[in-house]
Structure 1
Amino acid sequence: MKKFRFILPVSLLALVFTAACSPEDPADPDVEENEQEPEEELTEPSDEAIEGQDVQDLYLYMDNTDVSELYSRDVNSDDRLDGHMKLDPDDDEIIELDGLRFRGNTARGLDKKSFNIRFEDDQDFLFGSNRMNLNAMYRDPSMMREKISWDMFAELDHPAPRAEYFNLYINDVFEGLYVHIERIDQDLLANHDLNEEGTLVRDDMRGHYNGDTIDVYSSFGFDITRADDQPHFLEEIFRYRGNPHWGELTSLIEWVYQTPAGPEFAEKFQEEMNVDRFIDWLAVHFLIGDIDAFGDDYWLYLDHEDPDAKWEVIPWDKNLTFGSHTRSDYGVLNDYFAYEYPMDVGSWDNHLFMKLLETPELKEKLDERLVQLMGDVFTYDYFEEKFHTYQDRIYDSVMVDPSDRGAFDLHPQNHFGELGDYEYRSEAILDFIELRYQYIKAQIGALDTEGTLTATETIDDDTEGPVYFTDDQGWVISKFEPTNVVNEGDITFSVEENQEIDGVNRTFSVNAGDAEVEGTLTIYYRNDLGWPAGGNWYKENTAIGEQWDLTLAEYDGSTATPLDSTINPYTNKLTIDTSLTGENQYVITH
C-alpha cells in the first residue's frame, strides 16, 4: 500500500514543461562581459496574495510593451529593459532599476526565466549590492538545492556567494519563487575581508572551444606557451572583474600544465594555493555531486598586491546538485535519481584538479577531510534541519496552484513536473545524502565491503541508527533501522538478476543466520540510463511511469506475495516494517 499522493487535474498536467535541454548544460547564469566595476501600465493586484511566510516579496513593474518584448525577443539578448521595483505594492517607495534581462545559458530556453537585474543604488536586501541574480529554479522541484549548497560554503566560512529566497510578482501577478545568488565581484571580496583590488578571474576556455586552436575545455589543460601574447590571450579567454594580474595567472597555468602529479606538484601546490580552501571546495562538490564544477563553475582569486598571498577558489553555479543532472534523451528536466557520481573531475581537461587527485599527499588530505565533514559537519542531521526549515519556509510559495487566475501569466508554474508530488520529489535531497555518503565512503576505502551487489553487516544491542548494506562499489542495497534486537548476528543482503519479475527485474535475498531483528527495512533499486549509475533494473526506461503501483513482495522462487509497503519512485525505494530472521527473498513487482 503506497502513501496518498495528490493528483493534479488533466487540464493542469497539460501545462507541464517537457522540453529537454542539451545533454551537457553549462547552466552558466553569468554571461556578462568582462568589466571594471563602475561606478506604465499596471494590472490590478491579485486577490490571491501569499500570506504567512518568511520569504521577501519583490514587486517588479514594467511597461506591458517591455514585458512583451522581453518574452518575445531572442532569449539570448542582453539588452536591458526598463522597470522599477517595490518591496510592498502599497508602499510609496520606488526602487529604480538600471535595467534587466534574462540570464543563464540553456536555462534561457526554459519556460520560467531567470533574471539579471541592475539597480541604480545599492540595496540592503541584496547584501548591500546593486546587482541581482534571480534564479528561477525551474529544474529543481525541491527548490532547495541551490540554497542548501550555498549554506554549506557559508558553514565553512569559505568565500562564496550567499543565497536568499524571493517571491517575484511582475505587474502584480505572482510569477513564482526565486532564489537570488550573490554576484561574485569586488563587493563579495570586501564582504569576506579580501582585497577588492586583487585578481578575480573565471576560466571560459570551454566557451572558446573550437577543436582547433583551442582544443581543450580548461585553461589548465592548455599549453600556454602556444600563445604569442599570453596576457592578451588570457584576457580574451577569461572573464574577470577589475584589473587582474595576467602575469600571475600565466605563471599559474604554465606551472600546472608542465608539472606532473606527485611530490613536486604537492610542494608547489602548497606554496601557491590556499590548500585548505581548495580541499574544502573539492570536498563539498563531491558531497553534493556537482560534476559541472570542475569545468568552469568557479572563480580564482589572488591578492597580487600581497607577495605572501596564495590563490583562492570561489564556487559558482549550484543548480545541478544533489542528484539533479542531465540524462540522455531527457536533458535536465527529468525525474531520474542517482548518487553514484564518480570521484574524479570528469572530462573537463582541468589538470589543476586532476593532478591534485593524482597526487597521493593531496588526495589523502582530501579523503580525510571528506570523512571529517560527513561525520562532524555536514551530518544527516544537518541536512535534515536545513530541509525542514526551508521546506516550511517556501512550501506555500512552491505550491501556488497554476490554475489560479492571479498567478503565472508568463510561464506555467514554479518548476517542471507534478506539483502534487512535492514531498516525494523533495525527499530526494535527504535520500541522496544518505546514499551518496555510503558511496563516497566505499570509494575512498572508509567502508569494510566485500563484493559487488552483496553486503554483510552485524546488528547487535549496541547498534544505533540505520544500518546500510553497501557493496564494494558504494551501491546501497538496503537500509535497516532496528527497533528490537531479539538475537544479534551477521546479516547478508545480495541482489541477482531475475527477468521473470514484472517490475524490477531483480531478486533481493537476505540471510540473517541466527540473528533476529525487528525494524524498518528499505530496499533500493536502480532506475537510470547507464550514467552515472549502473543502469536500469526497472522493466522500462522511464523515470516514474507505473512505478507508483510497485510493491515489495516475499518471493519463493515462483510466487510473489505482496507486503504492506510504501514507495517513493522519485528515489527508487520501497519500505516495510518487518523482522529479519532466517533466509528470505524479496522482489519488487506490480
Structure 2
Amino acid sequence: MREKKLMDKTPIIFILIAISCIAIVFLFNRNIDKNLPTSLDFPTLFIYVEEEELVKLYQRDPLDDQRVEGSLKTSPQDKTAKKIELRFRGDSTRYLPKKSFNIRFQEGQDFLFGSNRMNLNASYTDPALMREKISMDMFKELGLPAPRVEYFNLYINNVYEGLYVHVERIDENLLKHLGMNDEGTLVRDSFAANLEKEEIGRASLFGYDLSNTEDPVTLLKENFSYRGNPHWQAVVDLAEWIYNTPAGEDFYMGFQERFYLEDFVDWLAIHLLIGDIDSFADDYWLYLDHHNSDAKWRIIPWDKDLTFGSTYRPQVYVDNHYFAYEYDFYEHSYRDNAMIIKFFQTPQLQEKLFKRMEYLMEEIFTLEYFVSKTIDLRGYIEDSLNVVPSKHAFVLHTQNHHGRLGKVEEHVETILEFVALRYQFIKRQIDPIEKSPVIVDLANYKEGDTIYFTDYKGWTIGKLLLKEIKEVGNVTLTVEHKEEMKGIDRLWSILPENADFIGELTLYYRNEIFAFGKQNWYEEEVATGRQWDLIMGYYRDGRVESISSKVNPYCNKITATLHIRDREEIVITHPE
C-alpha cells in the first residue's frame, strides 16, 4: 500500500523538480542580458571569487603566481560548487586585457578528461578564436600526440566574461589517454624564458654547448619545465648529440635512431603549414619512455594561438592585425634550435619533409578541409563571439578578442586566405622557379577554377575565380610602384592575349612592419585603419573609375568581379 502511494506521488515529484529547475534557470537568466549565450547545451563555467580577492588578482603584478581561492559550477542548477584555486597563466599574454587562467581542483574532473588542472586560454590574440582548436586537431588528425581542446563560456561572479579555450594540460593524464607510459620523461625547454641569464644566452637548449657546464643535469632542471621524474641524462645525451653532430649523413642516421622519424616529420610539417615557425624555442614538450630500451623520443605540440597569419610584431605586440604568410624555410633562425636547423640542412630529411608536405597540402589539409572546419566551428561559437559589452558582460575586460566586433566573416576569411597564400608560398620554397612575369594559360583551366598569380619568390599578386570563359588565351598579371597613388601605391596590370573572360579578381597588397613582409604598400603604418574604405578602380588616362568591390584589411585583399578582354590597369585607392 505504501509503495502504491509513493507511485501515485511520483509524477507530482517529477513535476515539482522540473518546476524548480525552470525557476532556477529563470532567476539566473533574469539577471543577465538576453543576448548572452545562456544555452545549457554549450559547456559553461561559473566561477565565484570574493570581490576583494578578485580585485587583488587583477591589480597585482600579472606575473604573480600566487593562487586565489574560489569555487566553480558547471551549471547554475548545481547544488554544490567545486572548490578551486586559480591564477593567471601564460607569459607575455598576461599583460593583455583578457586574462587566461590556470585553475586547480581538489580532484580530477570528468569534463577535464580526468585532470585536476585546467588551462583556460583567453585567446585574446585570435579574433576568430579558432586557431588553437584547428591546429591541435590537425596533429590529432595524423595520429600524433596532442592535447584535446574544448570551448567554454565563462561567467565570473555571474558576469559573462567571454568565450575561452581549454587546452588539455600535458601531463600524466594526457599520456595515459594516448596509451603512453605516464612515468616516462616529459620535459619542456624553457631556455627562452631564461634568456637573460648569463649562463643561457639563447632560446633553445639544442645548440647549447653542455661540455663547458660543470653540472648539466642541474642546469636543465633549473631551466626546463617537467613532469614527474625525468631521466635527465637522456635529455643531456640528446642535446650533446645534436650539438656535436653536423648536418648530413651522420645526422640523418642518428636522427632515425633517436626519434620516430615519420611522426617528427608530420609534427614539423604542420608547423610549417600553419606558419608557426616561431614555436621552436619552448612551445613543445619532449617525451621518452625511458623504461623501454627500444623507445625513441616523441614531441608534443603546445601553444598554437599565434598561427595562420597571426603573430608577434615588435612595435605593436601580439594583439595586432598585421598579416604575413612568407615565413622562409631557409632564412629563418628557428629560435636558435639546432635540431630544426640541422634537420633542414640534411638533404635526406629535407626531402622526406617536402614530399610529406606536398601530400598533406594536396590530400589531407586541403583548402576544402579548412573551409569545412571553419564552418563547423563558426556555427558552434559564433553566438559567443557576437556578445557585446554591457553591465552583465565584460566587466573585467572589454570583449572576447582584440578585433573589431561584427567582423566574424572577415576574421574567419583571414584564416582561409592564409592557408591558400601560404600553400602557394610553400610550393615556391619546395620547387623554385626562375624570375619571370606571372603568366597563365586559360586553356589549362575551366569555369569555377581559381588561378593564383604567384611570383618566383612565393608572393601572390592576385587570384582569379573564373566565372565565364568566352575565349581562351594567356593572361599576365603584373604590379609596379605608383608613388603618386593614394591608398595603395601600386598599379596592377592585366594583359590578356587572345583571352576574354569574366571572373572574380582578388588583388593582394603588402601592409607589413616587420622582416617577413619586407614592404609596406599602404600609405600609413597601421594594420587596418582607413583600409576599410579602400576601393578597386580602373586607372584610365590618369583618372580612377571606381569598381564595386569588397575589402578585407585583415588579409590585405580587395575583390571585384570584372569582364576582361583588353589590357586594364587597376589601382586600390581611397574614394575621392
Q: State the TM-score, normalized to the length of structure 2.
A: 0.91
Moved more, 421-430 or 210-219: 210-219
Q: How does 1:1-400 map to 2 (within 5 A)?
A: 45-48=31-34, 49-52=36-39, 55-97=42-84, 99-210=85-196, 212-344=198-330, 345-346=332-333, 348-400=335-387
Q: Using a 3 Å threshold, how does the CA distance of structure 1 residues 276 and 561 change in structure 2: closer, same or farther? A: same
Q: How far 1:266 moved relative to its partner?
A: 0.2
Kindly provide the amino acid, as one letter, of the partner of residue 304 in structure 2: K
CA–CA distance in 2 between the matches of 1:348 and 1:462?
41
Aligned to 1:20: none
1:302-342 Cα offsets, whole Å, 9 max, x none, are 11111111100111111111111122321112111111122
Q: How far 1:581 moved relative to its partner?
A: 2.3
Question: Which of these residues, 419, 430, 440, is aligned with residue 457 of structure 1?
Answer: 440
Segments of structure 2 that go 5 or more residues without pairing to the other structure are: 1-27
Moved more, 487-496 or 338-347: 338-347
Q: Using a 3 Å threshold, how does the CA distance of structure 1 residues 52 and 450 change in structure 2: closer, same or farther? A: farther
Q: How far 1:128 moved relative to its partner?
A: 1.6
Aligned to 1:522: 506
CA–CA distance in 2 between the matches of 1:503 and 1:385?
34
Q: How far 1:407 moved relative to its partner?
A: 0.9
CA contact (8 A) 2:47 2:70 kept: yes
Q: Which has the higher helix share?
A: 2
CA–CA distance in 1 between the matches of 2:192 and 2:550?
45
Q: Superposition RMSD on alpha carbons, in Å?
A: 1.8
Q: How far 1:420 moved relative to its partner?
A: 2.6
Kindly provide the amino acid, as one letter, of the partner of residue 58 in structure 2: Y
Any idea what SS the aligned residue of 2:238 has? helix
Any idea what SS the aligned residue of 2:402 has? coil
Kindly provide the amino acid, as one letter, of the partner of residue 439 in structure 2: T
CA–CA distance in 1 between the matches of 2:196 and 2:535?
51
CA–CA distance in 2 between the matches of 1:570 and 1:54?
32
Kindly provide the amino acid, as one letter, of the partner of residue 421 in structure 1: K
Aligned to 2:11: none
- Which contiguous aligned blocks of 4+ residues in structure 1 show a shift greater than 6 angstroms? none
Q: How far 1:551 moved relative to its partner?
A: 1.1
CA–CA distance in 1 between the matches of 2:136 and 2:394?
28
Kindly provide the amino acid, as one letter, of the partner of residue 161 in structure 1: P
Q: How far 1:347 moved relative to its partner?
A: 5.1
Kindly provide the amino acid, as one letter, of the partner of residue 365 in structure 1: K
Aligned to 1:33: none
Q: Using a 3 Å threshold, how does the CA distance of structure 1 residues 96 and 45 change in structure 2: closer, same or farther? A: farther
Q: How far 1:52 moved relative to its partner?
A: 4.5
1:169-201 Cα offsets, whole Å, 9 max, x none, are 011110100000100111111111111111111
Q: Does 1:568 align with 2:552?
A: yes
1:519-566 Cα offsets, whole Å, 9 max, x none, are 211111111114211311111112112112211111235122111111
Aligned to 1:585: 569
Moved more, 414-423 or 114-123: 414-423
1:457-506 Cα offsets, whole Å, 9 max, x none, are 22227435211010011111111111222222221111111102111111
Segments of structure 1 that go 5 or more residues without pairing to the other structure are: 1-41
Q: Using a 3 Å threshold, how does the CA distance of structure 1 residues 43 and 552 change in structure 2: closer, same or farther? A: closer
Any idea what SS the aligned residue of 2:517 has? coil
Q: How far 1:384 moved relative to its partner?
A: 0.7
CA–CA distance in 2 between the matches of 1:137 and 1:93?
29
Q: How does 1:377-456 map to 2 (within 5 A)?
A: 377-402=364-389, 404-445=390-431, 449-451=433-435, 454-456=437-439
CA–CA distance in 2 between the matches of 1:324 and 1:276?
28
Q: How far 1:422 moved relative to its partner?
A: 2.9
CA contact (8 A) 1:530 1:536 kept: no
CA–CA distance in 2 between the matches of 1:541 and 1:70?
36
Kindly provide the amino acid, as one letter, of the partner of residue 65 in structure 2: D
CA–CA distance in 2 between the matches of 1:584 and 1:450?
26
CA–CA distance in 2 between the matches of 1:79 and 1:457?
61
Q: How far 1:106 moved relative to its partner?
A: 1.4
Any idea what SS the aligned residue of 1:177 has? strand
CA–CA distance in 1 between the matches of 2:489 and 2:118?
49
Q: How far 1:281 moved relative to its partner?
A: 1.1
CA–CA distance in 2 between the matches of 1:521 and 1:481?
7
CA–CA distance in 2 between the matches of 1:443 and 1:534?
17
1:135-193 Cα offsets, whole Å, 9 max, x none, are 01111111111111111111111101111100000111101000001001111111111
Moved more, 50-59 or 501-510: 50-59
CA–CA distance in 2 between the matches of 1:176 and 1:114?
11
Kindly provide the amino acid, as one letter, of the partner of residue 553 in structure 1: G
Aligned to 1:471: 455
**Percent pairwise identity:** 47
Any idea what SS the aligned residue of 1:504 has? coil
CA contact (8 A) 2:29 2:38 kept: no
Q: Using a 3 Å threshold, how does the CA distance of structure 1 residues 87 and 243 change in structure 2: closer, same or farther? A: same
Kindly provide the amino acid, as one letter, of the partner of residue 531 in structure 1: A
Q: How far 1:416 moved relative to its partner?
A: 1.3
Q: How far 1:369 moved relative to its partner?
A: 0.9
Query: Which protein has greater RCO, CA pairs closer than 8 Å, 6+ apart?
Result: 1
Q: How does 1:480-559 map to 2 (within 5 A)?
A: 480-556=464-540, 558-559=542-543
Q: Using a 3 Å threshold, how does the CA distance of structure 1 residues 286 and 252 change in structure 2: closer, same or farther? A: same
Kindly provide the amino acid, as one letter, of the partner of residue 122 in structure 2: A
CA contact (8 A) 1:203 1:218 kept: yes
